[in-house]
Amino acid sequence: MIEVLPGNIIRFIVLVFIQVFILNNIQFMGQVNPYMYVLFILLLPFETPKWFLLVAAFTLGFSVDLFSGTPGLHSSATVLMAFMRPFVLNHFAPRDGYEPGTFPRAHYYGFLWFSKYASILIVIHHLALFYLEVFHFHNFFFTLWRALLSSAFSIILVILSQFFIYRR
């Protein structure tokens, strides 16, 4: 765990920077906003302790909240995503389990595996984020539509990152 710490710290800073200064300023159709910072939680090693996963998720979400002026929204959604991650990983685990020293990336487990894993967690994150943002079910289907469209854009960005940034 210690040997991957410097790389994860750099990834944390870069993803928060990209989210806050670039992606938060991009809106498709006035309602859809991609959230790529969730890639940090998705790519943490399999052996990451659950307590550290939750603390890292809170810190990540809080960092985005701090720069975005959305107190608690990203923190809550990111902690929920991190809480659900072990369950999703167990659901998609290979018969013999995950190989030691590998990471949850398309390079190790294939494009289809990574796509399903990332998509489920991103949709969970976005549903929580968008419904917490409106905090009522008055426009349930409109909020659902926004969450699913933003999820689709975020999933595309995360999957593209696997081909361009994390090829090895």
Count of domains observed in the chain: 1
The angle at the Cα of 57, spanning 22 to 21, to the nearest 5 degrees, equals 10
Host domain of residue 56: 2-164
Model-level pTM? Answer: 0.92
**CA 25, CA 57: separation in Å to the nearest integer?**
22
C-alpha 162: how far from chain center: 13
pLDDT digits (tens, 9 = 90+) for 144-157: 999 999 999 999 99
CATH number of the domain that 93 lies in? 1.10.1760
What average pLDDT does range 65-70 have in this prediction? 92
> Tokens 């810190």 sit at which residue?
59
pLDDT digits (tens, 9 = 90+) for 1-36: 445 677 889 999 999 999 999 998 887 777 788 999
What average pLDDT does range 87-92 have in this prediction? 93
Count CB neighbours of 34 within 10 A. Answer: 25
- The per-residue pLDDT for 84 is 98
Q: How many angstroms separate the first and last alpha carbons of the chain?
A: 19
Three-state DSSP state, 72: coil
